[in-house]
Structure 1
């Protein structure tokens, strides 16, 4: 048995609907299964999803306040008022700023932009920068990707005499800022049909309204910000990303060219994963470590050399960021391991002096991945006596709402259900931690602390082809609320399997189902090669990809998780070197047993764990799931008792024997007859003295003569006097099998044949039959 690392939540789509989609939409069955599992119920609904058009874009004037915004901006341009676009330092904020800057510049506006410095200004509106803008003659501020929680700062700007338009998408608080206009798709009174725009999506709506037509040339920026900010990739966000990626693949943007260059990406291959894992981190890195304005400059410049210079700087910042993240993650993990008891619902709140606040969100994500608990990571500023940090959550713990319950001790915070940022007095950190731990115990169950993997559809091996995998691109882009599909393949057999990699920590295998086969690879899952016994039915969860090598394409399963529901038999018979099989056994889950004292003595210096004599173990109550049977029992019934003692999920059979009886065999009746005739002729025989000569004469082993002599003695055919075999005068005819030593050897040979020398399949069958008896209720066993 192999336990899966996560809870598998498998969607099993309706077969009739799948077939309908497959035939009507003319798509491979794999695609049809994914669509049905994602909730599509009609052909029309699926067609609309697969064939996006501009009709998917909602009118920007459905956003409350958009009419007023357009009027106010046009008035500012006509009156030559100076406008400031006030952004944010992450990829969403940088692209939002660029979208609005490009739009206003194209309209002839007198416009500048400012991005807060994470370390000086913190998140959101900054009184320092607003004061600076006022002194530079700014009369209208337009925030992008922030502002909804900047109550005090926006009041400050208004008091200076500047007008403020807030465009944001973050969770609003109970009180809204006193801005002149607020553009937000998710406000309580909003009539906008899609509340899940990223900040750049809201900025794009503003651009659309100001220009009077869809600014297609800005969709690459919208795609980058939308993907990087992890908002829902449904509705019009899906269109933005799909069209934006299409645009990037045929780009004339020097910024996209430069980012592709430093990321090692071929432009025609750009997809949502490229943006999320290659472009996004580099754009984010500059704002995490300092001034984010180079990110905006990258997208505003038309100079190819300048763009590449900025992109190289972003790339170096990203490397620096990665090193900082590793250092802080290692330190945070050490603190957690020393100070936390992670044995139930809890929230990790960990902090330290001088931790870089710009990367704490990434660290929090890594801690959630490692411990699967909500995590808040704080950097302590002892001089200012404040703690500033980021939070990441798990399903069931709404991070923003749970932090909001503590607004009396956490005065500054903002975010979403799954992520948040905050600043609080250093003296409140312990109280904050204690409160959150209590809140976690109220809203999280033990089951919710086991990570879940949602599986779109179980597949048959024969359904996985290069064509079906390539067709899945029709469903892209994948992201939040429309994640890349995860598949499972149930109850397959392993045709071949081996460890790969310099550290042998990866596994490569061929799996089969009926007449179909499929390559599979598990990175970091090398242990599976030691944990899957032959002829075992295994289920896998993972991604299906195309492996291309030397121009040849083959489908391949990338293993994420695996499980085996049946018990397993591991054959370690004949492997005399204990160090070849012992490292593959989980000692903490395993009991080692022997039937003979001599075996325990033999293994005492080879195995550190206690080796139990089975007769002694029978008197104990153990909780181990695995058992290693080190030697052969003298009787088959003892092995049956091992199976009765516990329902083992893994049985390792070593069956060590110092000497094998099987190959010696039993002497034939002709051999016994010849030897008895030999003794009859001599009446007495000095066996010990002459057995060597007798063995040499007959070609039979000395052990054979010793054994036959013992059988004759037990049957009273001979007696021993003065070390001599003496023939008895009166002999009662008795079958050889009546002799105890003959019986014992016959039993031992049969036992070795069944257990020690039987092929694996026969041995497994022997155990299967006896385990099956153990699982039958007692009242039914009399009928077997």
Structure 2
């Protein structure tokens, strides 16, 4: 048995609705099932979803204060006032800044941008920078991807004589800043129909209003920022990303060509994964380690040479960022284990001096993946006495709301339900840890501490084809709120199992059912190869992809999790070195069983667990899940008696024996006949003196000769005294099989054939028969 690591939530789409979509939209059954399972359960809904177009864009003037913002910006342009775009240092902020810079330059504005330094200024509006903007002659300050939390900075801008326009998408606090305009998709006084825009999406809407039409040339930037900021990919976001990706594949923008070059991606290959795992991290990297201005310069550059240089700089910083993240993750993980040896708490809070505050958000994400707990990672600064960091959460723990309950020790924080940033006194870290754990215990159930995975549909291997998988691609882009489809395969046989990769830490399988097989690969799941046995039937979930190699395309399951309720047989027969197989046996619920006393002496020093005699098992032993059969029984009945008492999840067959009779063979009747004639002719025979010579003459082993003489003795054919053998005076005719020695040898050979030398398949069938018989007896 192998238990799943996650909670599987399987959807069963309505068959009638599925058939209707298949018929009316002329689509494969698998695609129809996915659409129905995700709520697109009518032909109209499904068609609209798959054919999303510009009509998905809402009127930008539905956003509260949009008219006021446009009027003020146009006035500033007409008067050639100095405008500053105040951005943020992540990919969403950088693309938002680039969008706003582009539209204002196109409209002839006198505009520059300003991005706070993560280390010097922190996130969001900064009083020092607002003062600097005013000193430089700025009269109109436009924030992008930030600003809604800047209550005091908005007051300062007014005092300095600057008009402030805020465009943001982060959670709004109890009070709105006093600004000329606050454009936010979830503004409390707004009727805007879509509240999930990223910062770049809000900037795009302002650009739309300023241009008077949707700025298609800015869709590329909108797509990058939207994917990088992990906002839900439905509604307007879906359109922005889908159309943006389409344009990125053919763009002439120098920055995209340069990013493709350093990422090793062809422009025609760009997908949402390219944005999320290639472009986004490189744009983010610079703001995590230093000033993010060059990232904006890259996106705005029209010079290919300049763009290549800037892209290489971002790529180099991304590699440095990866190294830093790996080191801090290792240290933070060790800290969790040291502080909580019995298991992770409801909320993880780790802190250490020297941790780069620019990457702690990534480290928090890594710890959530590892422990599945809300996590805060803080960098301690001994000079200022401050702790600065980031948090990532899980479903059921609303980070912003939970942090808001600790405002007395959290003077600066902001974010979303799933992510947040904060600064607090280092002396208050322990108090924050204790408080959040109490809050976590109050709101998080045991089930919520186990990651759940939503599975779209069950599929059979026979349903999976290249054509079907290509049709599923029409559902892209995938991302937050619209993840890649997950598929469930039930009752598939593990036809092949092996470890792959330089460190043998990945799993490669072939899953077969009803004559159709599909490849499966599980990254970082190589350990399961030691827990799976040939032919075992499993349930598997994952993402179906097309694997292309040397021009050949094959469907492949990217394995996420698997489980099996079948008992498993582990064949360790003939593996003499105990150190090779003992580590494979789980340390809990072990039971080592022997049938012979001498086996205990041979193995007790080699295995950690106690060894029990088969005829001395108690009730606790019978509850064991992992049964190790160290030696051969004397009879099938002995092993059947053990299996009648124990219902193991795993059986490990070692079947050690000092002497095998199977390959020695049983002497045939002609050999017995010849030996009896020889003894009758000689009258008496001294085995000790002449046995070796006779055996060599006939090509027998000495053991075979002794065995035949023992059979004759048991049948009364001969008398034996101290090795001297004589023919009995009046022997009664009897069959050889009546001799106990003959019977024992015959049984031993049959038993060895069934258990020790049988094929894996035949041995598994033998155990299946015994366990099935056990179930019938229990039922009766």
TM band (smaller chain): over 0.9
- Following the alignment from structure 2 to structure 1, what is the Cα–Cα distance between the partners of residues 538 and 750? 33
- Secondary structure of 1:205's counterpart equals helix
Task: Check the 8 A contact 2:497/2:534 in 1, yes or no.
Answer: no
> Which position in structure 2 is the counterpart of 1:556?
556
- The alpha-carbon distance between structure 1 residues 344 and 383, as it changes in their structure 2 partners (threshold 3 A), is closer
Q: Structure 1 residues 342 and 303 mapped into 2: Cα distance closer, same or farther (>3 Å)?
A: farther
Does structure 2 retain, via aligned residues, the 8 Å contact 1:488–1:542?
yes
For residues 532 and 412 of structure 2, the distance between their equivalents in structure 1, rounded to whole angstroms, comes to: 52
Q: 1:282 to 1:697 in 2, by over 3 A?
A: closer
Whole-angstrom CA distance in 2 between matches of 1:575 and 1:428: 57
1:466 maps to 466
- Cα distance in 1 between the residues matched to 2:599 and 2:708: 27
Relative to structure 1, the CA distance from residue 429 to residue 70 in structure 2 (aligned partners, 3 Å threshold; closer, same or farther) is: same
Report the equivalent of 2:273: 273
2:745 aligned residue: 745
CA distance in 2: counterparts of 1:573 and 1:15, whole angstroms: 49
CA distance in 1, matches of 2:661, 2:777: 37
Paired with 1:266 and 1:720, the residues of 2 have a C-alpha distance of: 90
Q: Report the secondary structure of 1:3's partner residue.
A: coil
**What is residue 598 of structure 1 aligned with on the other side?**
598
Q: What are the superposed Cα offsets for residues 727-780 of structure 1, whole Å, 9 maximum, x if unpaired?
A: 4446666665454333322322232222223333332222112212333474x4
Q: How many Å separate the matches in 1 of 2:164 and 2:339?
A: 47
Secondary structure of residue in 2 paired with 1:655: strand
Q: Shift of the alpha carbon at 1:448?
A: 1.7
Deviation of residue 492 (structure 1)?
Answer: 1.4
SS in 2 for 1:502: coil
Residues 456 and 485 of structure 1 are in contact (CA less than 8 Å); yes or no, is this contact kept in structure 2? Answer: yes
Q: Which runs of 5+ in 2 are unaligned?
A: none
- Counterpart in the other structure of 2:401: 401
Q: Residue 495 of structure 2 aligns with which residue?
A: 495
Query: Corresponding residue for 1:188?
Result: 188
Deviates more, 1:417-426 or 1:586-595: 586-595
Q: CA deviation at 1:660?
A: 1.7
TM-score, normalised to structure 2, is 0.95
CA distance in 1, matches of 2:622, 2:356: 49
Deviation at 1:17, TM superposition (A): 2.2
Change (3 A) 1:478 1:342: farther
Instruction: Give the paired residue count.
Output: 780
Contact 1:345/1:445 (8 A) holds in 2 = no
Question: Residues 473, 74 of structure 1: CA spacing in aligned structure 2 closer, same or farther, 3 A cutoff?
Answer: same
| CA displacement at 1:387 relative to structure 2 | 0.8
**Structure 1 CA distance, aligned partners of 2:752 and 2:358?**
67
* Deviates further, 362-371 or 339-348: 339-348
Note if contact 2:496-2:534 (Cα within 8 Å) is conserved in structure 1: no
Shift of 1:77: 2.3
Corresponding residue for residue 23 of structure 1: 23
Q: Which residue of 1 aligns with 2:685?
A: 685
- Structure 1: 5+ residue runs without aligned partners? none
609-618 or 450-459: bigger deviation: 609-618
Hey, what does 2:131 align to over in structure 1? 131
Deviation at 1:402, TM superposition (A): 0.9
Structure 1 position 248, deviation (Å)? 0.7
Report the counterpart of residue 48 of structure 1 in structure 2.
48
Q: 1:335 to 1:575 in 2, by over 3 A?
A: closer
Distance in 2 of aligned mates of 1:274 and 1:512? 32
CA contact (8 A) 2:18 2:41 kept: no
Structure 1: distance between partners of 2:272 and 2:496: 34
Structure 1 residue 313, shift from structure 2 partner: 1.2
How many angstroms does 1:518 deviate by? 2.1
Residues 602, 31 of structure 1: alpha-carbon distance in 2 compared, 3 angstrom cutoff: same
Shift of 1:62: 1.0
Greater shift, 201-210 or 706-715, is seen at 706-715
Deviations, residues 404-449 of structure 1 (Å, cap 9, x unaligned): 1111111111111111001111111111100011111111122222
Q: Is the 8 A contact 1:85 1:112 kept in 2?
A: yes
Give, in angstroms, the shift of residue 11 of structure 1. 1.9
Is contact 1:505–1:527 with CA below 8 Å preserved after alignment? yes
> Residue 320 of structure 1: CA displacement?
1.5
Moved segments of 4+, more than 6 Å: none
Counterpart residue number, 1:533: 533
Aligned twin of 1:12? 12
Task: Find the counterpart in structure 2 of residue 147 from structure 1.
Answer: 147
SS in 1 for 2:652: strand
Alignment map for 1:633-712 (pairs within 5 Å): 633-668=633-668, 671-672=671-672, 675-676=675-676, 678-680=678-680, 682-712=682-712
* SS of corresponding position for 2:96: helix
Quote the residue 1:376 is aligned against. 376
Residues 713-732 of structure 1 aligned to structure 2 (within 5 Å): 713-729=713-729
Once the two structures are superposed, residues 6-44 of structure 1 have per-residue CA deviations (whole angstroms, 9 ceiling, x without a partner) of 222222222332232223222222322221221211000
Distance 1:357 1:500 in 2: 36
Contact 1:618 1:645 in 2 (8 A): no
Q: CA deviation at 1:52?
A: 1.2
Task: Give the alignment's Cα RMSD to 1 decimal.
Answer: 2.3
5 Å-filtered alignment, 1:352-363, equals 352-363=352-363
User: Structure 1 residues 371 and 756, CA, compared in 2 at 3 Å: closer, same or farther?
Assistant: same
Correspondence 1:314-353 to 2 at 5 A? 314-341=314-341, 343=343, 345-353=345-353
Deviation at residue 622 of structure 1 after TM alignment: 7.0
Which stretch shows the higher mean deviation, 753-762 or 482-491? 753-762
- 3-state DSSP of counterpart to 1:358: coil
CA distance in 2, matches of 1:446, 1:345: 12
Q: Any conservation in 2 of the 1:345–1:446 contact (CA below 8 Å)?
A: no
Asked whether 1:238 is paired with 2:254, we answer: no
- Using the alignment, how far apart are the partners of 2:740 and 2:198 within structure 1? 86
* In structure 2, C-alpha distance between the alignment counterparts of 1:78 and 1:507, rounded to whole Å: 64
Q: Distance in 2 between matches of 1:762 and 1:690?
A: 43
Say which is worse superposed, 508-517 or 736-745, in terms of deviation.
736-745
Q: Per the alignment, in what secondary structure is the counterpart of residue 435 of structure 2?
A: helix
Partner of 2:255: 255
Contact 2:354 2:381 in 1 (8 A): yes
Q: CA 1:727/1:341 → structure 2, altered by over 3 Å: closer, same or farther?
A: same
